[in-house]
C-alpha cells in the first residue's frame, strides 16, 4: 500500500532554538509582538509499506529526530 506521511520534529521544551530567536528578533524589529518563536522541521513524503506506522517510527528514531533533543509527531494517510 502507498501512504502519505507528514512528520514534524521540534526541539524539546527548554532547549535553545537559535534560528527561532533570530526570526523572533527580526519580527519584533518589524513591529510584531511575537514571543517564544520556534522553528520545527517538517518532512513530507510518500511511502510504500505494509506496516507504515512501524517504518515511520523507525525513521524518526534513526534519522529524522535526535531523541535526546527532539520530540516528533507524525500523520499517516492512505493515498487514494
DSSP E strands in 1-80: the ranges are 2-11, 41-48, 70-78
| Residues 21-72: tens digit of each pLDDT | 999 999 999 999 999 999 999 999 999 999 999 999 999 999 999 999 999 9
| Per-residue pLDDT band at 76 (split at 50, 70, 90) | very high
CA distance 80 to 77: 9
The position carrying cell 527580526 is 26
pLDDT band per the 50, 70, 90 thresholds, residue 80: confident
Supply the pTM of this predicted model. 0.89
Report d(CA 37, CA 34) in Å as an integer.
7
Give me the domains of the chain, ranges plus CATH numbers. 2-78 (3.30.1280.10)
End-to-end CA gap in the chain: 10
Amino acid at each position: 500500500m502507498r501512504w502519505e506521511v507528514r512528520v514534524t520534529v521540534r526541539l524539546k521544551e527548554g532547549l535553545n532554538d537559535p534560528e527561532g530567536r533570530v526570526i523572533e528578533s527580526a519580527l519584533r524589529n518589524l513591529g510584531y509582538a511575537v514571543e517564544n518563536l520556534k522553528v520545527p522541521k517538517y518532512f513530507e513524503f510518500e511511502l510504500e509499506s505494509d506496516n507504515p506506522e512501524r517504518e515511520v517510527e523507525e525513521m524518526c528514531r534513526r534519522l529524522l529526530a535526535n531523541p535526546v533533543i527532539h520530540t516528533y509527531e507524525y500523520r499517516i494517510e492512505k493515498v487514494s
